[in-house]
Amino acid sequence: MSADPLHRAGTPSRKPASPPPSGSPGSAIEVRRSTRRRRTVSAYREGDRTVVLIPARMSEAEEQRWVNVMLDKLAAQESRRVLGDTELAERAERLSAQYFDGRARPSSVRWVTNQNTRWGSCTPAEGSIRLSHRLQGMPEYVVDYVLLHELAHLLVPGHGPRFWRLLESYPRTERARGYLEGVVAADRLPYVPGARGE
């Protein structure tokens, strides 16, 4: 989120940056209170810190609640950001190190637009992994599952018991599979005019 231009007009009071709440990734948090700001709250990243802009009249409890709300909003926005091929390859490398002791080493990992009936594919002989562009914008744990699935094929080509044992180490396997099954089922639903306010 970009800074609200109104906060520049007043002289906001600044609360020193504090460490992030436990469980939240990343940077320190700086709360800026403004007498000009009446009801709106906004937040943005500024270097290695998160700045949260709030009305001066807010209580400490309201401030903490809004800081948490805005951190969640920023995280959701950032998770929707599309990874490029380089970032995807780096992610595959990290996942291989974390779950397969670095044994799965793809020669290339990239997005493709010609896979409409499968989420990903792997050619073990070449070491190449391709993910469908339809995964872009899905939750990170789903993309990670598909990446791990294809990385596992570099170690075990088929879908036998040994292959599935490899994926057992990823704690969100069942959740990710359920999410993808839901997407497939939703795609098969008939279009009903007006069902979604159309």
Q: What is the per-residue pLDDT across 148-167, written as a single tens digit (0 to 9) for each?
A: 999 999 999 889 999 999 99
Strands (E), the chain: 13-14, 28-34, 42-46, 49-55, 108-112, 120-123, 128-132
Amino acid letter, 24: S
3-state secondary structure of 33: strand
28-32: which pairs have CB atoms within 8 A and are 24 or more residues apart? 29/67, 29/71, 31/63, 31/67, 32/7
What pLDDT score does 193 carry?
54
- pTM for the model stands at 0.58
Reading phi first (left if > 0) and then psi (alpha if -120 to 50, else beta), residue 23 is in left
Distance between CA atoms of residues 124 and 122, nearest Å: 6
Whether pLDDT at 189 is above 80:
no
